[in-house]
Structure 1
């Protein structure tokens, strides 16, 4: 699978986010956890990759089945609902 520069950048951004699960990345881009790890290793400096791996290893928020909060579609239960917003009603 060939990814555009924009897709690669977005995957890296999502992988760094604490609350974005690997399952969300798979749903959106079709890459499983191992493929995300390989992409991160390939695209990042070695020191940045090691920092990222240390950060996400064992983190429950990166794996949907280990999360303890409500399982909405990739949305934290503490996230506020937008009301009276024209954009959200389109």
Structure 2
């Protein structure tokens, strides 16, 4: 699947979000966790990539199967505000 620049920006945004599991990215964009890691490595500065990996490595909320059933989908009113204003 070929991603547009808007898709890449959205994948990066979703990858940074603590409550968005990798499975959601795979469902929407067809990128596995390894694909997301490669995309982040290619698109972020090295220091930003390292910070992101440190932040997400082993984080249960980034893996749907490891999540507590208490964690439910959440979307704040500010979520993706820039895209809504552009439309």
| TM-score under structure 2 length normalisation | 0.80
**What is aligned with 1:62?**
62
Match of 2:15 in 1: 15
The alpha-carbon deviation at position 71 of structure 1 amounts to: 7.1
4+ residue runs over 4 A deviation: none
Tell me how far 1:69 sits from its aligned partner.
Answer: 2.2
Q: Superposition RMSD on alpha carbons, in Å? A: 1.8
The residue number in structure 2 matching 1:87 is none
| Deviation at residue 10 of structure 1 after TM alignment | 0.1
Larger Rg: 1
CA distance in 2, matches of 1:59, 1:25: 16
> Deviation per CA, 1:40-90, whole angstroms, max 9, x where unpaired?
000000000000000000000000010012576xx15xx7xxxxxxxxxxx
Structure 2: which 5+ runs fail to align? 76-87
Q: How many residues align?
A: 76
